[in-house]
A and B are shown apart, each in its own frame.
Chain A
Amino acid sequence: MTELIEKDTWVEIQNIILPAGERAPQVPDDTQQVPLEMRVKGFLVEPAALGDEVEIVTPVGRRLRGKLVDVNPAYTHQFGAPIPELSVLGREVRTMLRQRGQLK
């Protein structure tokens, strides 16, 4: 049996606002072929399992319904590996300035 996520847990819900093919007329073809999707985070109102249709209370107190897709969602944006094309620049420009006597 799927374990229920406790009430008042910080979660994320998802909704499809406009299905594929029913997008605004001005959008390009590639966008027309995919849905307009919305995701919002808030506190779960009743215990539920991932994938359930649930209600949340957002930080401003709004009650929204949608599919439960994530629990305590992580912030995963990062720096990643250094970019070699950038990592050499400091050395290059310092050399140029030294050659002109602008740096020791």
Chain B
Amino acid sequence: MIDPISYEALMSQRAEIMKQSVGLDYSQYETGVIAFDYERLLADTGYDVSTACNIQKRTAVGNTPLIELKNITALVRVAAKPGKGARIFVKDEAANPSGSFKDRRASLSVHEAKQKNFTGVVAATSGNYGAAVASQAAKAGLRCIVVQEAFDSQGIAQPEIAEKTRACEGYGAEVIRLSVGPELFYVFLQVLQETGYFNASLYTPYSVLGIETLGYELAVQVQQQCRVFPDVVIATHAGGGNVTGTARGLRKAGANDTRVIAASVDLSGLHMASDHDFNRKSFTTGHTGFSMPFTTWPDRVDVPRNAARALRYMDRFVTITQGEVFYITQILAELEGLQRGPAGNTSLAAAFAIAQELDEDRIIVVQETEYTGAGKHPFSQLNLAKQMGVQVMRGDPKDNQPGQRIVIPEHPSQITVTDVDLDHIRRSYLHHAMESLHEGERLSDIDIDFLAAETRSSKTYVQEVINALH
């Protein structure tokens, strides 16, 4: 057993453990009481798009196909008004070595760990990222430990996470499986301290820069196939890395007018730290349980500063119901011959709705798929949902109620998105920012500029909101 050290004692050493395990001194980037030099933090890593592409090529990461979903687009047009129904494309990220776009994030993290002479890597994740880090570590000859929140107090594993356990162990990683609770972070810190391994956090600059290649590639592919940049790119949104990295990659390719839309599954009403709710979510990521807190305050992570800052990059933020995502997953298989995992299907379901708002010649790209299989399939999730007493039925998606009732639409025209009020999100962000101030700290001009960039607003807006908070 690991040294018995109290929860509080270990948490108090958090900053030092983090610094050692990422090999990065974040304090040099602080420019105000809240502000830090975000661009310099990313640039100093040396991983521009071309460098990242070259590193990823060595492990067959990236260069995934862009597929036009012509039959799904045809179905959109069944539901849409005449002349409406944009073309939908998908970037088939399932073609990456471990089956998801997370290989892009893991490749730079593991490369960095190797460069810095760490002997192993640790990742706290229950999702595809763990498998991606384990896969990359295997190829690089590094040891790998993955810490998962995996099962409830009855010992019932969430099937998708059970599949991730199998995948990580398949790549030769040690998997620490925990029951439900945020104290996972405590175990994670213990492991970092004991092993001295690299913290392959989802939120380091490396992990986010690894996704820029995805945005860049898809812009180039659409340009080559259609002679224009995409009008809209939709990214499934959880911790913010996917939205951030994709948007930055699009800009680096010159696709400055492409609108970036973040999409999450609505899990409102379910508590993310609840043992009872754990196996009633039917989704393990891409949901509002992550995206809301991370958009309104990104620095709630396992590194001092989160390199994923989604609010800077999203033009729009929408939610979709569980039943709508399961519907679209089935349709993707039966109309396009693509059986793919849950994550990308959240943005695909949103694309199905948003395509109906746009003219037929417009182009929407869903920027990821992931592999599917036992545990990651709608059958696995819905059978568990039924076992946990969640009702599964056909009907109007508006009656979907997370944890109580999953409603599979009766007709594709019922698939709609709900817009998240970005003004509300910005205000919430600024509220969190003010709460983070210590006694006696005052905001400087640099801080106000930073907050305006963070909320994609203006100094006047930031001042007004902050004044109203007092």
- Give the size range of A's interface with the partner: 35 or more
CA–CA, A59 and B2, complex, Å: 16
B7: interface (CB < 8 Å): yes
CB of A77 within 8 Å of the partner chain = yes
A31 touches B379 (CB 8 A): no
Q: B277 → chain A, closest Cβ, in Å?
A: 8
Interface string of B388-417 (1 = CB under 8 A from A): 000011100000000000001000100000
Whether A79 touches B271, Cβ cut-off 8 Å, given contacts A36-B183, A58-B174, A96-B75, is no
A28-77: which have CB < 8 Å to B?
28, 30-31, 34-42, 58-62, 64-66, 75-77
Measured between alpha carbons, how far is A27 from B326 in the docked complex, in Å? 30
Q: Is A7 interfacial (CB 8 A cutoff)?
A: no
| B244-281, CB < 8 A from A | 271, 273-276
Bound Cα distance from A4 to B383, whole angstroms: 37
Given contacts A96-B75, A97-B78, contact A78 B375 (CB under 8 A): yes
Which A residues are in CB contact (< 8 Å) with B178?
A: 17, 36-39
How far apart are A101's CB and chain B's nearest CB, in angstroms? 10
Q: Is B179 within 8 A of A83, CB to CB?
A: no
Contact partner of B273 (CB less than 8 A), chosen from A27, A64, A75, is A27
Q: Contact at A97–B71, with CB atoms within 8 Å?
A: yes
B166: which A residues are within 8 A, CB to CB?
Answer: 75, 77
What residues of B have a CB within 8 angstroms of the CB of A35 in the complex? 153, 179
Q: Does the CB pair A34–B179 fall under 8 Å?
A: yes
Q: B383: which of A23, A36, A80 is its contact (CB, 8 Å)?
A: A80
Q: Are A34 and B162 in contact (CB under 8 A)?
A: no
Check: B180 CB closer than 8 A to any chain A CB.
yes
Is the CB–CB distance between B334 and A90 below 8 Å?
yes
- Contact assessment for A66 and B182 in the assembled complex, using a CB-CB cutoff below 8 Å: no
Contacts of B408 in A (CB 8 A): 85-86, 89
* B residues 143-183 in Cβ contact with A at 8 Å: 143-145, 150-151, 153, 157, 159, 162-163, 165-166, 169, 172-183
Report yes or no: A76 in contact with B1, Cβ–Cβ below 8 A: no
Closest-by-CB residue of B relative to A99 is B78
Query: In the complex, A62 Cα to B145 Cα: how many Å?
Result: 10
B327 on the A face (CB < 8 A): yes
Q: Which of B1, B163, B180, B271 contacts A15 (CB 8 A)?
A: B1
Q: Which of A17, A18, A85 has the most CB of B within 10 A?
A: A85
**Beta-carbon contact of A93 and B335 below 8 Å:** yes
Q: Enumerate chain A residues within 8 angstroms of B382, measured Cβ to Cβ.
A: 83, 85-86
How distant is the Cα of A41 from the Cα of B274 in the complex, in angstroms?
A: 25
Chain A residues closer than 8 Å to B383, beta-carbon distance: 79-81, 83
- Residues 64-76 of B, flagged 1 when their CB comes within 8 A of A and 0 if not, give 0000000100110
**B378 at the A interface (CB under 8 A):** yes
A81 to B225, CA, bound (A): 41
- Of A35, A66, A79, A81, most buried by chain B (CB within 10 Å of CB) is A79
> Which of B2, B78, B162, B195 contacts A96, CB < 8 Å?
B78
Residues on A with C-beta less than 8 A from B150 are 39
With both chains docked as a complex, state the minimum distance between the C-beta of B224 and any C-beta of chain A, in angstroms: 27
Residue of A whose beta carbon sits closest to that of B120 = A60
Whether, in the assembled complex, A102 has its beta carbon less than 8 Å from a beta carbon of chain B, the answer is yes
Q: Report whether A26 and B143 are in contact in the complex, using a CB–CB cutoff of 8 Å.
A: no
Contact A80 B380 (CB under 8 A): yes
Contact residues in A for B87 (Cβ distance below 8 Å): none
- In B316-334, which residues have CB < 8 Å from any A CB? 326-327, 330-331, 333-334
A-B contacts besides A89-B334, A94-B335, 11 pairs, CB < 8 Å: A24-B183, A31-B181, A40-B176, A64-B2, A79-B377, A79-B380, A83-B392, A86-B379, A93-B335, A94-B334, A96-B78
Q: Which A residues lie at the B interface, using CB under 8 A?
A: 15, 17-18, 23-24, 26-28, 30-31, 34-42, 58-62, 64-66, 75-83, 85-86, 89-90, 93-94, 96-97, 100, 102-103
CB<8 Å pairs between A and B, sample of 25: A15-B1, A17-B178, A17-B186, A24-B181, A27-B182, A28-B271, A30-B274, A30-B275, A41-B174, A59-B172, A60-B195, A62-B174, A77-B166, A77-B375, A77-B380, A78-B380, A82-B379, A83-B383, A85-B393, A90-B333, A90-B334, A93-B335, A97-B71, A97-B75, A103-B71
